[in-house]
Structure 1
Amino acid sequence: MKSILVLTFTCLSTFLRPESVHAQSNCEELKKENEYLKKALNITTPIKTVTTANIDFNILKVEGNTKDQTVTVSMTFVNHDANEAIQYYNTQAIDVEGNEYKGSNHSIGSEGSRNTLFTDTPVKSTITFKKVLPSVKIMKLIHLHLLYNKPPNVKLEFRDLPITWK
């Protein structure tokens, strides 16, 4: 009986040590951090990428708003050259029925349609297209024309992008 009590006390003291409680809380913190990183990876995984002028143009999502009848394209730009300014010049989208939409509400980072791309640093960018009906499920073409010094103009085309409506 005495040996059972000693064994029970030893087991309890081992499991109830402050270190084991601390290790459990660290484990919970690590789990939360892992979930955050998994979500960040999913958010920043591009559905389409075009590389030109040593810049990766990554489309992350094409999301429609049924109430506002808008479609917002979320992207990242990653410049693999020296720091350089870039600016939206003209953007348009065409759906599978041939309807054309002009881009508006351009943003590059925290700025409007113009900002600096820093070397190997992703910068988020969005474009909104207005008066898009929720019946439009795919953008056949999204054409971007940007002003950039090397070369002076960058023209990109993304094709067959599905729209996720909310």
Structure 2
Amino acid sequence: MKPILVMTIVCVSFFLKTNITNAQSNCDDVKKENEYLKKALHISTPTKTVTTANIDFNIIKLEGNTKDQSVTLHMTFVNHNANEAIQYYEIRAIDVEGNEYKGENRSIGSSGSRNTLYTDTPVKSTVTFHKVLPSVKMMKLIHIEFLYEKPSNVEIEFKDLPITWK
């Protein structure tokens, strides 16, 4: 009787240990997934939003590169209309000292300066401004014009955007 009892205790403790180990492993996986999702939310959280023509233009960040002396504007666009093409036209940034920079290296999603915005689907976009000195800490104004079919061309402005230099 004692050997059966001992064997039963050993088997039960083995199964409990296995279940606890699996539970810890599952918990660790869930924690890793939660961290990833938190970072994804933080990365795509807009600092400023302008809505016009039923499209949300969200500024994610304005990031400077000290080595290249460039500043990249990171945005997302969310179209609340039916699928529609949009294209960058003119982009200008003006710093607090009145220096003006032309937007270059434009991209909407995986395309260049033109792409389709799908209904209620965020699309990343970047624009780079060159010859911006690291002493520039803020863009006083960023003015963007888009060629858009409905209702007509779209113009947006963002003011007082701080630059994060790296």
Specify the alignment match of 2:136 in structure 1.
136
Aligned equivalents of 2:15 and 2:124: distance in 1?
50
Cα distance in 2 for residues equivalent to 1:127 and 1:141: 14
Long gaps (5+) in structure 2: none
Query: Is residue 160 from structure 1 mapped to residue 160 from structure 2 by the alignment?
Result: yes
Instruction: Kindly state the Cα deviation for residue 87 of structure 1 after the two structures are TM-superposed.
Output: 0.1
> How much does 1:25 deviate?
1.1
Looking at structure 2, the residues matched to 114 and 44 of structure 1 have their Cα atoms a distance apart, in angstroms, of 21
Report the alpha carbon displacement of residue 16 of structure 1 after superposing the two structures with TM: 1.4
Q: CA deviation at 1:129?
A: 0.2
Shift of 1:88: 0.2
The alignment's TM-score, normalised by the length of structure 2, stands at 0.92
- Structure 2 CA distance, aligned partners of 1:22 and 1:122? 37
Distance 1:62 1:119 in 2: 26
Number of aligned residue pairs: 162
Tell me which amino acid in the other structure corresponds to 2:22. H
Match of 1:26 in 2: 26
After TM superposition, where is structure 1 displaced by more than 3 Å over at least 4 residues in a row? 8-15
The 3-state SS of whatever aligns with 1:51 is strand
2:58 corresponds in structure 1 to 58
2:14 corresponding residue in structure 1: 13
Cα RMSD (Å): 1.8
- Identity rate, percent: 73
Q: Which residue of 1 aligns with 2:106?
A: 106
1:45 is matched with which residue? 45
| CA deviation after TM superposition for structure 1 residue 73, in Å | 0.2
- Aligned residue number for residue 77 of structure 1: 77
